[in-house]
């Protein structure tokens, strides 16, 4: 009988109860850190892909590059940029490219003076928007020099946290980048 009283009054059982309360919270915190890290990884991959896509869109065309003719100057086709530049980068980071959606450019995108702004969406996966003849807003050191023009790429991916309630665990990640047109 004395052993039972000693067990009931002892503190060994409280340690087990505390562990049963704290361990699920600690595990939830660790999983949250893991998935926030993955969201940051996807965001970094999207920005890298957007930078490379904008750089490719701003580059000069050549006879074997598959440039779109009829546009002055001839630029790369948005489908080619999506498939040959952006998709491999996102696939390497294990981003599902079928969930990439194109977004319209922000309202502050301005065309270069004397040239029409051309924004085209790709018709293949991943769906992106490529804008060319964009005024990059970089002030020139010499006032008579024309403004700096370039290309811009825009797309979006809805990152969903696993095991999150519907509508709460989705973050829209936007990839956008600009690059100066090479001449």
Query: What pLDDT digit, counting tens, does each position of 101-155 carry?
Result: 888 888 888 888 888 888 888 888 889 999 888 888 776 666 666 778 889 999 9
167 Rama sector, left if φ>0, alpha if ψ -120 to 50, beta otherwise: left
Token readout for 117 is 């702004």
pTM for this structure? 0.78
Q: How many domains does the chain have?
A: 1
Percent of the chain's residues with pLDDT above 70: 80
More confident residue, 70 or 95: 95
Residue 162 structural domain:
2-180
């Amino acid at each position: 009988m004395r052993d039972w009283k000693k067990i009931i009054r002892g503190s060994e059982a409280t340690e087990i109860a505390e562990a049963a309360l704290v361990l699920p919270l600690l595990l939830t915190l660790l999983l949250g850190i893991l998935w926030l890290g993955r969201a940051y990884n996807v965001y970094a991959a999207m920005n890298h892909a957007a930078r490379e896509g904008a750089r490719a869109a701003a580059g000069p065309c050549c006879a074997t590059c598959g440039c779109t003719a009829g546009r002055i100057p001839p630029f790369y086709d948005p489908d080619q940029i999506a498939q040959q530049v952006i998709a491999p980068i996102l696939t390497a980071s294990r981003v599902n490219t079928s969930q990439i959606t194109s977004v319209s450019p922000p309202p502050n995108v301005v065309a270069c003076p004397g040239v029409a702004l051309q924004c085209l969406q790709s018709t293949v996966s991943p769906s992106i928007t490529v804008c060319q003849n964009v005024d990059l807003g970089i002030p020139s050191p010499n006032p008579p020099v024309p403004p700096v023009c370039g290309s811009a790429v825009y797309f979006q991916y809805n990152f969903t946290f696993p095991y999150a309630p519907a509508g709460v665990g989705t973050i829209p990640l936007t990839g956008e980048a600009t690059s100066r047109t090479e001449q």
